[in-house]
Amino acid sequence: MITLTFVYWVLGAYFGLLAWRGLRDRANPRRFANGAFWGLIALLMFAAEHLPNKLVGACVVVLAVLAGFGGLGKGDYEETGAEEKQTQARQLGNRLFWPALLIPAVTLIGALGLKYVRIGELPLLQTANVTLIALAIACLIALAAACRMTGQTPWSGVEQSRRLVDSIGWAALLPLLLATLGSVFEAGGVGQAVAGVVRSVIPVDNAFVVVAAYALGMALFTVIMGNAFAAFPVMTAGIALPLLVHHHGAEPASLAAIGMLSGYCGTLLTPMAANYNLVPAALLELKDPYGVIRAQWPTGVVLLACNVVLMYWIAFR
């Protein structure tokens, strides 16, 4: 059976390659910091569950120190020339998007279809984490497809991803860190505190008002935290489960799915989502660092309003 450990091993191998290549990149003035940073993440991916909690915590502190004092640097990357890139782009055209589109397609097929495939008495994919495992498999298939289509090697993919990751720096880990922070908040009782505030402010017997509070809360908490994964455990445990599922009998699967989408609306509105809104502006060298947010906030607001109606209609069908 393929378990979530497979995903961690793939990620550990990837980060290990980043660390090894970063240490060898003499053009990078911060090559030792880069190597140590990605190397520590590789170690945690491979062995965190077998290490003492205090040692894992110490590794996280070291990561913060490496990112905060001097940060990570950029070096020299193996890549083709500008003319060759333009020639290949003209030849391939829109086919360049095919490997990227393979990722959601294969993930959907794997999550819906492979969970029924069994080898003996065991399922092929671990049932509890089938979507994440399917996503990892989809990324590997997309990498193979991209190499086949462009005539490049998998090492080219690693090297070019290293260029992008080095440009983004520590912010590439923000989704992981903020998702973890959301779990910490929930363990600390923030969700129950939110539920208490909501009960005292809104009429909890009105299902539509509670739905609006959940959707808006997901968006606003995402604006503050910068990541919908951080908002989800807090708002779902504080509003969705006790007030909508248990009190009003809402259907939990659709409620949670649209709740996450409401949080993503908040992602479009906040500079705290640096890896989505500030990093692209820096990579594209936009004059306005908040240009991405200015362009997309109307979409976020309209989509959030649609989510409130959709959530109420679907969760109470």
Percentage of the residues of the chain whose pLDDT score is greater than 90:
25
Residues 203, 158: contact at Cβ < 8 Å? no
**Dihedral sign, Cα of residue 118, residue 123, residue 124, residue 128:** positive
DSSP 124: S
| Per-residue pLDDT at 121 exceeds 90 | no
Average pLDDT over residues 71-94: 80
Q: Quick one: pLDDT at residue 308? A: 94
Q: Residue 262: name the closest of 317, 208, 306 by CA.
A: 306
Q: Please say if the pLDDT value at position 283 is more than 80.
A: no
pLDDT reported for residue 143: 92
CB 159 within 8 Å of CB 78? yes
pLDDT for residue 166: 83
User: How many CB atoms are located within 10 Å of the residue 237 CB?
Assistant: 18
Which of 62, 64, 70, 76 has the alpha carbon at shortest distance from 25? 76
- Per the DSSP assignment, residues forming a β-bridge with 2 are 125
**What is the model's pLDDT at position 39?**
92
Residue closest to 130 by CA, chosen among 143, 142, 117: 117
Dmax (CA) of the chain = 65
Question: pLDDT, tens digit, for every residue of 208-244?
Answer: 999 999 999 999 988 887 778 878 888 888 888 888 9
Predicted confidence at residue 238, as pLDDT, reads 82
Whole-angstrom Cα distance, residue 155 to residue 97?
20
pTM: 0.71
Mean pLDDT of the chain: 85
Beta bridge partners of 125: 2
Distance (Å) of CA 134 to CA 129, 141, 142: 9, 10, 12
> Please, which residues have CB within 8 angstroms of residue 24's CB and are 6 or more apart in sequence?
31
The confidence score (pLDDT) of residue 307 equals: 94
Average pLDDT over residues 189-198: 75
- pLDDT given at position 145: 92
- Structural tokens at position 50: 């077998």
Question: pLDDT tier at 94 (50, 70, 90 boundaries)?
Answer: confident
Cα dist from 39 to 11, 77, 258, whole Å: 11, 19, 37
Q: Give the integer Cα–Cα distance in Å for 244 and 250.
A: 5
Residues contacting residue 287 through CB under 8 Å, at least 6 positions apart: none
